[in-house]
Amino acid sequence: MRPNRRSFIARSAGLLAASQIPETAMAASEIKLGSILDTSGLFDIYGKPMDQAVQMAIDEINAAGGLIGRKIKKIAYDTQSDMALYTKFGQTLARDDKVDVVHGGILSASREAIRPTLRKEKVLYFYNVQYEGGVCDRNIVCTGVTPAQQAEVLLPFAMKKWGKKAYVLAADYNYGQITSKWVRKYVGDNGGQTVQVDFFPLDVADFNSTIKKIQDAKPDFIVSALVGGAHMSFYRQWAAAGMNKRIPMCSTTLGAGNEQSVLTKAEGDGILVAYNFSRELGTPENKGFLERWTKKYGSTGNVHELASATYQGVLLWAEAAKKAKSVKQADMIKALESGISIMGPGGKVTIDAKTHHAVLDVHIMEVKDQKMNVLQSFSQRPPIDTQLVCDLKKNPDSNVQHEIKI
């Protein structure tokens, strides 16, 4: 029988609707991971490898069958190193894209631009960056190394090698100010003396007068917590004055963004640092990570501490989802607070339930030939700085960044 017009239209509409069901169901079943990073602008040296780390982790999880039976979809925004865009895109991810989690932020200002929105909208947030510590919020997980985790091992090592008198140079904002306090504490705890602490705005690039002050103070070594492109001038001016042959240096910041590769061998050799990650770390997990990175991106030349922490952050989130059998905020938080761990490029990473910060392996490294060669490793260093001010077990509704008093 030849169908009439009405039955044809009805049948066509039904076929069209049926053809759309698989796609709709597939989209609904996807887990949405939001990424918000500076992949252009002043901080893209950090943001681009972090974005690549997110993508690689997602691709590996999806290739292994997905997460709790679902594929992960990345929804990413480039903030162009503009703090106002962090606020805008944070709202977009939570309210319009309705993501299940956000991984992102580099500077503390970028974290604080999106953290309140994500908390309000009940979107779990992972901040995968070295920072000053003190954030106490059950909706955030911080996977980067904090000042005490570095200084606790770096300062005694440097003092044993070089002497008791330290001269501190630091960036003039939260990270530098708080880190300098931890430096002074651990210098004092190990029987030493901090002879001077100098702070510098991020745009300062002329350190000639400071070099003269250091010469007059005659410290045994320098501790640098300088940050950013302008402050890189210090290392060059220090070497040009021949001072790197006379007074050695350690740093809590150099190398986190592969700055050792920017300096010449003459400028960088001999500087001590302490981080969770180095491309020279010889563990099976790190070797495998670097091999996979090379296969995917062609080279490991841009991999750094923050990229590794980001990769580990995505793996921790996935591990929590597997345990929770869910990506809902409440289920994920419960799983994260159970003490889950993963083995990442930098070693074992465990979430401290009290603070939602990472317990990490920390490695003392020496810059040599633009590489960071591991000298000594310290297993599972707790976030003791943030533990001083944050206890989410006792105060689960806490929502503050504490200024840690030392």
Question: What secondary structure, in 3-state letters, does 147-212 show?
Answer: HHHHHHHHHHHHHHHHCCEEEEEEECCHHHHHHHHHHHHHHHHCCCEEEEEEEECCCCCCCHHHHH
Q: Is residue 381 within 8 Å of 359, Cβ to Cβ?
A: yes
Report the Cα 26 to chain-centroid distance in Å. Answer: 32
In the 3-class helix/strand/coil scheme, how is the chain assigned residue by residue? CCCCHHHHHHHHHHHHHHHHHHHHHHHHHCEEEEEEECCCCCCHHHHHHHHHHHHHHHHHHHHCCCECCECEEEEEEECCCCHHHHHHHHHHHHHHCCCCEEEECCCHHHHHHHHHHHHHCCCEEEECCCCCCCEEECCEEECCCCHHHHHHHHHHHHHHHHCCEEEEEEECCHHHHHHHHHHHHHHHHCCCEEEEEEEECCCCCCCHHHHHHHHHHCCCEEEEECCHHHHHHHHHHHHHCCHHHCCCEEECCCCCCCHHHHCCHHHHCCCEEEECCCCCCCCHHHHHHHHHHHHHHCCCCCCCHHHHHHHHHHHHHHHHHHHHCCCCHHHHHHHHCCCCEEEECCEEEEEECCCCEEEEEEEEEEEECCEEEEEEEEEEECCHHHHCCCCCCCCCCCEEECCCCC
For the beta carbon of residue 73, count every other beta carbon within 10 angstroms: 16
The yes or no reply on domain 28-145+280-360+381-401 and CATH 3.40.30.10 is no
Torsion sign across C-alpha atoms 337, 339, 340, 345: positive
The rounded Cα 179 to chain-centroid distance in angstroms is 16
Domain residues of the chain, as ranges? 28-145+280-360+381-401, 148-275
Distant-in-sequence, close-in-space partners of 91: CB < 8 Å, separation ≥ 6: 117
The whole-angstrom separation of Cα 249 and Cα 231 is 15
Measured at the alpha carbon of residue 285, what is the angle toward residues 281 and 288, in degrees to the nearest 5?
95
| CA 79-306-293 angle, 5° bins | 100
**How buried is 116 (Cβ within 10 angstroms: 0-12 exposed, 13-18 middle, 19+ buried)?**
middle
Note whether 28-145+280-360+381-401 and 148-275 share their fold. yes
230: CB partners within 8 A, 6+ apart: 202, 203, 204, 205
pTM of this structure = 0.89
* Whether the Cβ atoms of residue 324 and residue 335 lie closer than 8 Å to each other: yes
Residue 107 neighbours by CB under 8 Å, 6+ apart? 43, 83
Take residue 323 and report the two structure tokens written for it. 């345990």
Q: Which residues pair with 377 in a beta bridge?
A: 363
Place of tokens 């810059």: 367
Q: Give me the tens of pLDDT residue by residue for the chain, a chain 406 residues long.
A: 334 444 433 333 333 333 343 434 444 589 999 999 999 988 888 999 999 999 999 999 999 999 999 999 999 999 999 999 999 999 999 999 999 999 999 988 999 999 999 999 999 999 999 999 999 999 999 999 998 899 999 999 999 999 999 999 999 988 899 899 999 999 999 999 999 999 999 899 999 999 999 999 999 999 999 988 788 999 999 999 999 999 999 999 998 888 888 889 999 999 999 999 999 999 999 999 999 999 999 988 889 999 999 999 999 999 999 999 999 999 999 999 998 999 999 999 999 999 999 999 999 999 999 999 999 999 999 999 999 999 999 999 999 988 887 7
Give the model's pLDDT for residue 6.
42
Number of neighbouring beta carbons within 10 Å of residue 172: 14
- What is the CATH architecture of 148-275? 3-Layer(aba) Sandwich (3.40)
